[in-house]
Amino acid sequence: MTLTLLRRHFVAASAALALPGCAMTSARTPIRAAPCLPPVKAAPDRVIRTVAGLRPYRASGFVVRVDTLGAKRLVHNYGHGGAGITMSWGTSKLAVDMGIAGHIGPVAVIGAGVMGLSTARLLQDAGFAVTIYAKALPPETTSNIAGGQFHPFSLYRKDMVTPEWQRQFVTALDYSWRRFQIMIGEDYGVRWLTTYTEGTQEEPRLPYFPPAARQLRSDEHPFPVERLWRYDTIYVETGRYLRQMMRDFAGADGRIVVRGFAAPTEIAELPEALIFNCTGLGSHALFGDTELTPIRGQLAMLIPQPEIDYAFTGEAGYMFPRPDGIVLGGSYERGKWEAEVQPERIARIVASHQALFGRFRCPA
Ligand SMILES: Cc1cc2nc3c(=O)[nH]c(=O)nc-3n(C[C@H](O)[C@H](O)[C@H](O)COP(=O)(O)OP(=O)(O)OC[C@H]3O[C@@H](n4cnc5c(N)ncnc54)[C@H](O)[C@@H]3O)c2cc1C
């Protein structure tokens, strides 16, 4: 289904909202009003930790392509901006399919963030012996810092991507979406959550994403905002997820070597003839990709509140509830190379959420 058809679906849904009484997305699907949601207790004294991380952003989108390094085949899979968790299975699948054609023998993966681990697992599933070489392992990767929402956000600039890239993007997003669905559960820390988004709904990227999206009437939700959408999506508790991915990798006889590379010539000396580059922002220095720019994000983690079973994104920032803490975020600082927390920024993030949840009201 095309985006045009999708837009039509959204128009139909909005039109249904104009009906008095029970709103309907279609003749057959009645929509229940949202319950009175429990508010998040956002306050400075509930902050249990703070983190800052650098999103590996490229305006022209992630890089998934085959290159050569002397006699070796090098496959790039990096530059996923603020959507690396979301895109991980999909672009790794594209990279692996490109790379293994005709290859026999062991394989090297550089990087142990979400991209390196997903690539490595797909290679193992395809029957290859894999060694991961990485400067840092979980929990010391950018992937561990991610809030973990499945959403292709802050990933590319529309006027900078090619039609070929768009095709890669849709194929990858589709694969990821399906793959995460079959990983739901405590072991990976992957779950569905209803999400409330302030403002105008973005153009959907897949015919079925985000599912069950609908604009709410003001008497259907407690948020003190003018326009609100609701949809369902998947959330990943990144620490738990990456721990389990490391276990899966080890359980399939994966080998890990902790080592940093300063130049491609060092990579060319590895014994493996097929190498995957999953170094994220590291590709800026390692492969001279100057388009790769950090977008710094800072997060405040609050004491967990198990009763919070919804997520929010909007003017105040974003709130993702996880068993390891309530994630409050919303900073996008372009070109900042220091992965350091700024207390003033954290204070602003907490204050904006405190104001939002402090004005929560229950629908009459
Ligand atoms: C605050 C914040 C919130 C985010 N929220 C979300 C979200 O909700 N949803 C989402 O989908 N995405 C989110 N992201 C984006 C996501 O975290 C990144 O896109 C993703 O982590 C990139 O994964 P990666 O494996 O490419 O890189 P990384 O996790 O950075 O891993 C890179 C690996 O390569 C290694 N490496 C790098 N250079 C070298 C070298 N020279 N030699 C050897 N090894 C090297 C590193 O040590 C590491 O092991 C967020 C990011 C931030 C900062």
Pairwise CA distance, residues 361 & 364, whole Å: 9
Q: Is 339 in the pocket of ligand 1 (CB under 6 A)?
A: no
Amino acid at site 78 = Y
Range 126-144 average pLDDT: 98
Among protein residues, the one with the nearest Cα to ligand 1's atom 38 is 282
Give the Å distances, CA to CA, from 116 to 18, 109, 276. 48, 6, 8
Mean pLDDT (whole number) for 257-280: 98
Q: Spell out the residues 6+ positions from residue 2 whose beta carbon is closer than 8 angstroms to its own.
A: none
- Give residue 363 CA to ligand 1 midpoint distance, Å: 40
- Does the C-beta of 301 come closer than 6 Å to ligand 1? no
Ligand 1 in contact with 78 (CB < 6 A)? yes
Segment 14-42 mean pLDDT:
51
Asked if residue 245 has its Cβ within 6 Å of ligand 1, the reply is: no
User: Is the separation of the CB atoms in 204 and 232 below 8 Å?
Assistant: no
SS3 state at 345: helix
Predicted pLDDT of residue 6:
28
In the chain, alpha helices (H)? 3-17, 84-100, 114-125, 142-145, 163-181, 238-251, 264-268, 283-286, 343-358
Q: Say if ligand 1 is within 6 A of residue 346 CB.
A: no
pLDDT at site 174: 96
CB 236 near ligand 1, within 6 Å: no
112 has a pLDDT exceeding 80: yes
Tell me, using a 6 A CB cutoff, whether residue 261 lines ligand 1.
yes
Q: Could you tell me the pTM of the whole model?
A: 0.91
Name the residue with the closest Cα to ligand 1, atom 19: 84
The residue contributing the CA closest to ligand 1 atom 1 is 297
Percentage of the chain surpassing pLDDT 90?
A: 84
Instruction: Reply yes or no on whether the pLDDT at 4 is more than 90.
Output: no
Higher pLDDT: 210 or 120? It is 120
Residue-wise pLDDT for 333-352, tens only, equals 999 999 999 999 999 999 99
Nearest CA, atom 2, ligand 1? 146
How much is the mean pLDDT over the chain?
90
pLDDT for 8:
27
- How far is the CA of 339 from the CAs of 62, 135, 245, in angstroms? 21, 16, 24
Q: What's the pLDDT tens digit per position in 160-215? A: 999 999 999 999 999 999 999 999 999 999 999 999 999 876 666 788 888 889 99
Ligand 1, atom nearest to 283 Cα: 38
Q: Which atom of ligand 1 is nearest to the CA of 81?
A: 19
Task: Calculate how far, in angstroms, residue 55's C-alpha sits from the geometric centre of ligand 1.
Answer: 7
- Condensed to tens digits (0 to 9), the pLDDT of residues 58-109 reads 999 999 999 999 999 999 999 999 999 999 999 999 999 999 999 999 999 9
Q: Name the residue of 77, 109, 131, 135 whose CB sits within 8 Å of the most ligand 1 atoms, as the mutation to test its pocket.
A: 135
Whole-number pLDDT of residue 194: 97
Centre of ligand 1 from the C-alpha of residue 132, in Å: 15
The 10s digit of each residue's pLDDT in 288-330 is 999 999 999 999 999 999 999 999 999 999 999 999 999 999 9
Residue 362: pLDDT over 70: yes
Q: What is the pLDDT of residue 115?
A: 98
Distance 202 CA to ligand 1 centre (A): 25
Note the pLDDT of residue 200.
76
- Higher-pLDDT residue of 34, 206: 206
Q: Does residue 148 line the site of ligand 1, with CB under 6 A?
A: yes
Q: What's the pLDDT at 364?
A: 64
Ligand 1 pocket test: pick from 51, 76, 80, 242 the residue with the most ligand atoms within 8 Å of its Cβ.
Answer: 80
User: Ligand 1 centroid to 279 CA: how many Å?
Assistant: 8
Matching residue, tokens 């326009």: 227
Q: Strand 107-110: give its sheet, edge to edge.
A: 63-69, 72-78, 274-277, 107-110, 130-134, 255-258
Residue with the nearest Cα to atom 50 of ligand 1? 146
Higher-confidence residue of 281 and 33: namely 281
